[in-house]
Every structure is written in structure tokens, then in C-alpha cells.
Amino acid sequence: MGGSELHCRQVAEKLTAVGFDCTVYTTCAKDYITWKNEYSGGVSFLDGIRIKRYLVDKERDIQSFNAYSDEIFHREHSAEEEIRWMEMQGPCSPDLIGALEQESGQYDALIFFTYLYYNTYWGLKRATGRKILVPTAHDEPALHLDLMKEVFDVPEAFIYNTAAERDMLKRYFPLDDAYGDIVGVGVPVPDGPTESSIPFRYGLFSPYILYAGRIEEGKGCATMIESFLDVRRHLPDLFLVLIGKKLMDLPDHPHIRYLGFVSPSDKNGLMAGATATIHPSPYESLCMAALESLAVGTPILVREGTEPLRRHVVDGRCGLYFSAPADFGEAISLLIKDGKLCSRMGENGRRYVRDNYSWPAVVEKYKKAFRHLLGS
């Protein structure tokens, strides 16, 4: 499950828990690379939430899509070519859009998660009623397609993940007249220390840095691995541990450990045991993995050019940022050699998450948006 999908699920769960009647419209796809139908279509229930799944019309050919994207992003093109790009982007589910068009009047408000995909583009155009967009946006080529003006023109309210995301979007779209609030997600901060033996169960007895999330070049993982291998010349005992879905080949190296998917409790334990967690993606609007790391008291290391993550570091005084491989190595060396600094950043991170990303505060901000739209 990707960050935006998990974000949507958690918001639905929390709103349902305080009495809202939530229905989720989604597809039968699980893999965002292919959009292959893997779930059964129809209605199901999970934790009191009604889920309506619709078949995806066609799988995505990611090589063809990436090639077409490169072409569209770097030359003059027509509106029709942008529509074709959105169709290739997917997940293409006309049945879902048709259901929204017919049934949207049943709901007090519709919340669309992430600006980038077919179902948000067509859903905003076809559905009736009050519409809220949670953009989960970052500054990437797709954001500058002309059809995105339609996406950001329709909603009456915007729920931003960070001030950096809001400020970036307001540079490109006229959003001042629409309701907007910085909300993000809730991340629980453990009351006590996390189980300290978990890293040992995975054979991790030396210092390590951790990456959690989709392991792919688009997330900056190839550069991260190159930088890590360079750092090891100065820190030969250091390990790089990766957890999550592997979408690229990894070097066969004794100090690079891929653990696959782990349980939430093991993830927290692995994060807590790390010297730092690494977040190398050039495109993030919030990064839940970074907040989860801070919640267990582990500093984060982020790319300087990824403004939402850099703002976490600066505002929370809870990590370091790098702009070049040499900076990456210096940051890791500093955190390993200065245990007091590492601990202080970790405590700052726990405080930052507790103060800014609690679920009660998030739910109250959604209620505030509903009151604004519905007048009650």
C-alpha cells in the first residue's frame, strides 16, 4: 500500500470511529505499476467502512507510459495528448467514475486523495456535491500539465499535508479563494521505549541506517545505495537495511540487507534501533515513514531539495539534510560519532510529531472543513 492509499485508509478509519458514515470508492488493483485487477469487484466492509471496488479496464504498460511521459513533459503537445497521458496513467476505471456520477448526491462531501491519477481527474469532473482534495502533491513535471488546472479549479476545499506543499501549490494555481488547511496525518508516539531486541532478531548487531518504503529508482534508492557504498569506506561496520516492496535490483553486498515486508511492531523496532532513517526521494508531500521514524526517536536524513522533508528537519530540529553524496557521508558520520546529538535530535523528533501530528487534531481539522462546506 502506497503512502497516499494508507493516508486515505487511516482518515476513513478515524472519521468512522467518531461517528461519520464513510464509503470508499476504489479499484480492484493492488500493484500501481500494472494496475492489474487482483481484488474482487463489489461491496465489502472493513472496520465499519463500506468499500466499493470497481474493475480497472486495462493494465498499464509502464515502459510505454514512461516513454510517453518523457515525450509529453519535454515538448509542445495538445490537450488531446494530455488526456491520452491521463488514460495511460490510470488506473482507468470508467465503472468507478460512472458510479460516482450516479451516487455522489448521496453524500454530504466527497474527499479525493492524491491529485495525479485518472480517478481523481474524472471523478472531480463528473461527480456532484461538495468536493475536497487532499493533493499529496510535490513539484514534478506532471503537476505542470495544463489539465491539472482543471483538477485544482474544481474542489471547494484543500487539505494539505505540509505548509511547504501548500506554498508550492499556491505558486502554480489560484487557490487563495478556496478553503485550505494544513492537516497531514496522525502518527502515534509510543509511551515508552520500543522493544530493543527486534534488530537482534534480524541479525543486526552493528550500526545501521534504515530505508522504509517502495524500493525503486524514482524514490532515489539507486543514489542512496551508491552513497552508502561510498560511506562504508570510512565506516566499514555500517549496514544499510531496507524494508518494503522491492521494485529494483539490489547489489549483492554483505552490508546491504533487504528484509522485505515486516510487521508494524517490527518496523517500529527496526526504526528505533537505527542510527537514522534515510528518505532520499526527490518527490514527497509528507512522508509517513519519516514521521514514524521521528515518533520512535530516530533522526531522519533527507534530500535538501525535497522541501516538505527539509522543513520537517528544520522545524523539528530532528535530523539532517544533504545535497550531494559527500554531504550524505558527513551526516551519517556525525550521527554515529556524536551520540548526544543523535539522541537530542531523536527527542526533538518525538516532540515534533506529538505536537503536530496527533489524530485528534487531524480529525478536528477535517470536521472544521466539513463545517465550512456544509454550514453546520
pLDDT in the model for residue 193: 65
Residue 376 confidence (pLDDT) above 70: no
pLDDT in the model for residue 45: 97
What mean pLDDT do residues 44-72 have?
96
pLDDT in the model for residue 197: 87
% of the chain residues with pLDDT over 70: 98
pLDDT in the model for residue 175: 97
pLDDT in the model for residue 216: 93
Question: Average pLDDT of the chain?
Answer: 94
Residue 135 confidence (pLDDT) above 80: yes
Residue 50 confidence (pLDDT) above 90: yes
What mean pLDDT do residues 204-219 have?
94
pLDDT in the model for residue 333: 92
pLDDT in the model for residue 371: 96
The structural domains of the chain, ordered by start, are 3-186+358-374 (3.40.50.2000), 198-356 (3.40.50.2000)
pLDDT in the model for residue 249: 96
pLDDT in the model for residue 227: 93
Which band of pLDDT confidence, cut at 50, 70 and 90, is reported for residue 190?
Answer: confident
pLDDT tens track for 75-123? 999 999 999 999 999 999 999 999 999 999 999 999 999 999 999 999 9
Residue 159 confidence (pLDDT) above 80: yes
d(Cα 85, Cα 308) in Å, to the nearest integer?
27
pLDDT in the model for residue 325: 81
Which band of pLDDT confidence, cut at 50, 70 and 90, is reported for residue 25?
Answer: very high
pLDDT tens track for 251-264? 999 999 999 999 99
Identify which has the larger pLDDT, 357 or 285.
357
pLDDT in the model for residue 2: 65
Q: Among 114-118, 265-269, 372-376, which stretch is predicted with the lowest mean pLDDT?
A: 372-376
Residue 290 confidence (pLDDT) above 60: yes
Residue 337 confidence (pLDDT) above 70: yes
